Amino acid sequence: MQVKIAAKTKLPTPFGEFELIGFETPSGQEHVALAMGDYADGQPVLARVHSECLTGDALFSQRCDCGPQLEAAMQKIAAEKRGIIVYLRQEGRGIGLINKLRAYAEQDKGLDTVEANEILGFLPDARDYNVAAAMLEALQVKQIRLLTNNPDKLKSLLDAGINVIERVPHKVDASPHNQHYLDTKTKKFGHLL
């Protein structure tokens, strides 16, 4: 997977100032990275690979733990004054926003997130982490301490050649609205919660 850095700018946040780096793929996909400090000095850097979740990240949905995970990653990186968040535009485990809303409607009928995706004809998780690996390489990140609970993400990045020297647990609090979702992530995806 090839990516190119298309734009860089400053992004002031409640957690401190990040550098916002825009990437493009040859197929026209757009992704971003939020970076702080000297992340390309060859030393292990705290990193999060986060898939876009409009409902959780921007609309504060409590159906998932995405928004709190993103916020916690920004706080942890700001506390270290160094790190990077690779933000992938692959909404709804890679099925897109409208299909994610359709999956939510199936979940409203009692299905879990895996069953909802499958009944709509999708894989339980269609995300691709090769672009994340390409973004890290473009940023000259040599070693990461990966903020994740997802063993598939860890394996995918290792398989793509990223030197993950540590998995850093990334647990956030559950709510009554997302407990079933978190249970499904543990039981069906093997998330380390």
Residue 3 CB coordination number (10 Å) = 22
Q: What is the residue extent of each domain of the chain? A: 4-90+127-189
Helix axes 151-159, 130-138, angle to 10 degrees: 60
Q: Is 28 annotated as a binding residue?
A: no
Residue 79 confidence (pLDDT): 97
- What average pLDDT does range 5-12 have in this prediction? 98
Q: Which of 10-19, 54-63, 121-130, 169-178 has the highest mean predicted lDDT (pLDDT)?
A: 10-19
The CATH number of domain 4-90+127-189 is 3.40.640.10: no
Residue 180, H or E segment? helix 179-189
> Residue 41 catalytic?
no
- Positions of E strands within 68-192: 83-88, 143-147, 163-168
pLDDT digits (tens, 9 = 90+) for 60-118: 999 888 999 999 999 999 999 999 999 999 999 899 999 999 999 999 999 988 999 99
Q: Is 66 annotated as a binding residue?
A: yes
> Residue 167 catalytic?
no
- By DSSP bridging, strand 30-36 and strand 16-24 are antiparallel
Single-letter amino acid code for the residue at 136: L
Pick the catalytic residue from 125, 128, 167, 183.
Answer: 125
Q: Is 82 annotated as a binding residue?
A: no
- What average pLDDT does range 155-184 have in this prediction? 81
